[in-house]
Amino acid sequence: MGGGELGNAVRAVKWGTDYLLKASAHDGVVYVQVGDPLSDHNCWERPEDMDTLRTAYRIDANHPGSDVAGETAAALAAASIVFRSRDPSYSRLLLNRAIKVFEFADRHRGAYSSSLRYAVCPFYCDVNGYQDELLWGAAWLHKASRRREYREYIVRNEVVLRAGDTINEFGWDNKHAGINVLLSKYIPIPIPILLKSETGSFNGKSKRFKILPNKRGWFYLFFVAWNFSYSGSVFPRGIDIQGWRSNMQHVTSLSFLLLAYSNYLSHANHAVACGGDSSASPALLKRLARRQVDYILGDNPLGMSYMWINLRHPQRHHSSRPQQSSQVQPPPLPTGIPIQPGPQFQSSVPAAGPWSTGLCDCFSDVSNCCITCWCPCITFGQIAEIVDRGSTSCGASGALYALIAYITGCACIYSCFYRSRMRRQYMLPEDPCPDCLVHFCCEACALCQEYRELQHRGFDMSLEEE
């Protein structure tokens, strides 16, 4: 994670797992909800001011909730991996608790929205059932504990727990797509082949797997991107994923799965066969995911960022958080009256800041410095692909750069425009002199600085075959 935020991210994970540990402190009991959904939705106050009842609801043997318990077990197991080397004792605590909670979820099967219906519905009903959460919990326990019994649990229960259900959705109510991605790391076979495990290892080297084409034997390995390519974008210029409500949660979660799946494919040196001679490389999946994220960040017809990173962003939100203290939600304004921003809205647009490294700090990254001095078109191609948000490839931009350099002997007349665009995107100062002059005086220094800046901002600057 770039920007030195890994420590903060780990602390955020621990903040959540500490809560889950408290909620599952007693065997056979998991506290799953605090507050009444109807009164909370009807009372439009800030969380700090809420005076509605804080009733605590729990699941137990008489009131099962395998969905919440399975999800809790999955979260604890996943978090145990985060702390495995950082805090081994805390990691063991998380894993042991995950095992207990999962055993409880599996022993007392049922949906929490059935057991606690009036406290849960209509807002948080488990429409897709509890079965996927049991598989989700088992998948993460297999990854965290490396114990064979959880793989056997998945294979044994794949029919009963409806493993092949809706795999083009991933969210709080449906885990099937995530299950398929998580398991695809251990069973790397192309879609739409189905696979039924008999024995063998998960490393892809075992020959003791039975491949069942065109039959419902086990999981479809997840590949949602190709499905979207046939239907086209749901929204102009970018969004290919459509959900029923709160669309961005589906877009971001499935984009994350695409990135995770592309990483698995990259490490296994695989591509996805899509029928005939066509295939999808890991780079294609990354470009698709980036297109979704760029749309949210502002690369859309309105130029509006939904994450508040530029000056144009939504002004009113379906949330009580921006309201003034102790004020209820105001009534809708009559037609024709401009909608005002939320009363406590504060802009989160970052102020213009300095470059992360200096223009002459080339030798802070010796390998990039050598590559840039030897063949600057490579570094420029990487920069251009990111600044263009994937609309141009590294190879095409690098080739054009080389052609301009060959014809004019001065490729900086092309590369300086990308420095200007990059500065506007990240609000960097034009310092110490104009962009064209920086590139003219030292093309390699300018390209190296831009490369380091993008790397500092978390971009993957490795050269990847597409």
| Per-residue pLDDT band at 456 (split at 50, 70, 90) | confident
Out of 180-189, 215-224, 276-285, give the one with best mean pLDDT.
276-285
Q: In this predicted model, which residue has the larger pLDDT, 395 or 106?
A: 106
- Is the pLDDT at 319 greater than 70? The verdict is no
CA 429, distance to chain mean position in Å, is 31
- How would you class 203 by CB atoms within 10 Å of its CB: exposed for 0-12, middle for 13-18, buried for 19 or more? exposed
User: Among 190-199, 207-216, 311-320, which stretch is predicted with the lowest mean pLDDT?
Assistant: 207-216
Cβ atoms within 10 Å, residue 140? 27
CB-CB contact of 291 with 238 (8 Å):
yes
Average the pLDDT over 447-453 and give the result.
Answer: 90
CA 269, distance to chain mean position in Å, is 22
Q: What is the pLDDT of residue 134?
A: 94
- Is the pLDDT at 255 greater than 50? The verdict is yes
CB-CB contact of 74 with 105 (8 Å):
no
Share of the chain above pLDDT 70, in %: 70
Fold of 6-222: Glycosyltransferase (1.50.10)
What is the C-alpha to C-alpha distance for residues 240 and 228, in angstroms, rounded to an integer?
6
Cis peptide preceding 282, ω within 30 of 0 = no
Average the pLDDT over 98-119 and give the result.
Answer: 92
Q: What is the pLDDT of residue 170?
A: 83
Average the pLDDT over 151-175 and give the result.
Answer: 75
Average the pLDDT over 201-215 and give the result.
Answer: 31
User: Among 112-116, 188-192, 208-212, 447-451, which stretch is predicted with the lowest mean pLDDT?
Assistant: 208-212
What is the C-alpha to C-alpha distance for residues 307 and 300, in angstroms, rounded to an integer?
13
Q: What is the pLDDT of residue 377?
A: 92
User: Among 155-169, 204-218, 342-356, which stretch is predicted with the lowest mean pLDDT?
Assistant: 204-218
Q: What is the pLDDT of residue 401?
A: 92
Location of structure tokens 């200007």 = 420
Q: What is the pLDDT of residue 332?
A: 52
Location of structure tokens 């590949």 = 223
- Is the pLDDT at 231 greater than 80? The verdict is no
What is the C-alpha to C-alpha distance for residues 240 and 251, in angstroms, rounded to an integer?
8
φ, ψ of residue 30 in degrees (nearest 5): -135, 125
Q: In this predicted model, which residue has the larger pLDDT, 330 or 57?
A: 57
Average the pLDDT over 167-176 and give the result.
Answer: 80
CB-CB contact of 422 with 356 (8 Å):
no
| Per-residue pLDDT band at 324 (split at 50, 70, 90) | low
What is the C-alpha to C-alpha distance for residues 415 and 384, in angstroms, rounded to an integer?
9
Cβ atoms within 10 Å, residue 236? 10
Q: Which amino acid is at 43?
A: C
Out of 11-20, 106-115, 161-170, give the one with best mean pLDDT.
11-20
- Annotated domain spans of the chain: 6-222, 362-456
CB-CB contact of 225 with 283 (8 Å):
no
- How would you class 264 by CB atoms within 10 Å of its CB: exposed for 0-12, middle for 13-18, buried for 19 or more? middle
- Is the pLDDT at 413 greater than 70? The verdict is yes
- Is the pLDDT at 437 greater than 90? The verdict is no
Q: In this predicted model, which residue has the larger pLDDT, 398 or 99?
A: 99
Out of 65-74, 125-134, 330-339, 370-379, give the one with best mean pLDDT.
65-74
* pLDDT tens digits, 29-79: 999 998 888 777 777 777 777 778 888 999 999 999 999 999 999 999 999
Angle at 154 between CA 281 and CA 148, to 5 degrees: 95
- Is the pLDDT at 349 greater than 60? The verdict is no
Q: What is the pLDDT of residue 194?
A: 32
Q: What is the pLDDT of residue 336?
A: 45
Q: What is the pLDDT of residue 1?
A: 53
| Per-residue pLDDT band at 160 (split at 50, 70, 90) | low
- How would you class 88 by CB atoms within 10 Å of its CB: exposed for 0-12, middle for 13-18, buried for 19 or more? exposed
Q: What is the pLDDT of residue 342?
A: 52
What is the C-alpha to C-alpha distance for residues 196 and 216, in angstroms, rounded to an integer?
9
Q: What is the pLDDT of residue 189?
A: 39
User: Among 37-46, 201-210, 309-318, 354-363, which stretch is predicted with the lowest mean pLDDT?
Assistant: 201-210
Rg of the chain over Cα atoms, rounded to whole angstroms, equals 26
CB-CB contact of 380 with 418 (8 Å):
yes
User: Among 94-108, 153-167, 168-182, 226-240, which stretch is predicted with the lowest mean pLDDT?
Assistant: 226-240
- Is the pLDDT at 225 greater than 70? The verdict is no
Q: What is the pLDDT of residue 187?
A: 54
Average the pLDDT over 340-359 and give the result.
Answer: 59
Q: What is the pLDDT of residue 243?
A: 54
Cβ atoms within 10 Å, residue 2? 13
> Measuring CA to CA, which residue among 212, 216, 202 is closest to residue 165?
216
- Going by the DSSP 8-state scheme, the letter that residue 189 receives in this structure is -
Q: Which amino acid is at 230?
A: Y
